[in-house]
Amino acid sequence: MTNLFTRMKDAVVADFHELLDQKEEKHPMAHLNQHIRNCENEVKKLEILIEKQYKIKQSYQRELKQAEFMLDKRRRQMALAEKMSETELYEEAKVEADQYQVRVDQLSKLNDSTTTQIEEIELKYSDMQHQLKNLYVKRLELRGRENIARVHKGINKVLQTDSFDHSHSKFAEAEDYIERLERQVKTDERRYTLDARFSELEKRDLISK
């Protein structure tokens, strides 16, 4: 039974939220909020891509550093082999040195290219952030204008109806009621005073008899 009531409650709540969503969808501010959320999602996607590009650049730099280390090592070995007249070792070291040189050149270009690309997307990312901030400010402005418009609409609605005239009539009715009460009190006081005077007079008349 508890589960049944829980499901019924959840169904009612879901229907209620659906109605609210439908109502909000018809409001222009709801469309603006959705647009801003979409922009926020795009900025977040760009953040992820920029972070990924930084990691790629770090990988290039790591590979470049290793290639430069091996190139320097093979060149020193070439010099040693040449000094010791080890022609075969010299040739083997030269082959690998040439290969490392190609790798160093390739990785240097990739690293430089990636640095330039990151600088470009960082500028675009900064521009997107400013644009998003402008949207936030514009939304705040529109919310303020909407609220002021609603206030004026409410004021005009009250002023254009007979609410205040109705209030005046209510005050008049209350004032009339109080005046009737006051007259009744005065009448009762006079009646009481008159009856008291006659009562005293009757007592005196009885005594005189």
Tens of pLDDT, residue by residue over 128-138, are 899 999 999 99
Q: Is 62 exposed, middle or buried (0-12, 13-18, 19+ CB in 10 A)?
A: exposed
H/E element, 127: helix 87-160
| Interatomic CA distance for residues 195 and 187, integer angstroms | 12
Choose among 150, 147, 129, 127: nearest CA to 139: 147
pLDDT tens column, 155-206: 887 777 655 556 666 777 778 788 888 788 777 767 767 777 777 777 776 7
Q: State the pLDDT confidence band at 66, using cuts at 50, 70 and 90.
A: very high
Query: What is the pLDDT, as a whole number, of residue 107?
Result: 96
Whole-angstrom Cα distance, residue 38 to residue 132? Answer: 10
d(CA 10, CA 4): 10
Q: What is d(CA 205, CA 179) in angstroms, rounded to the nearest whole number?
A: 39
Interatomic CA distance for residues 61 and 124, integer angstroms: 24
CB burial readout 24-41, b (16+ within 10 A) else e: eeeeeeeeeeeeeeeeee
Q: What is the pLDDT of residue 161?
A: 63
Q: Buried (b) or exposed (e) across 7-20, using 16+ Cβ within 10 A?
A: eeeeeeeeeeeeee
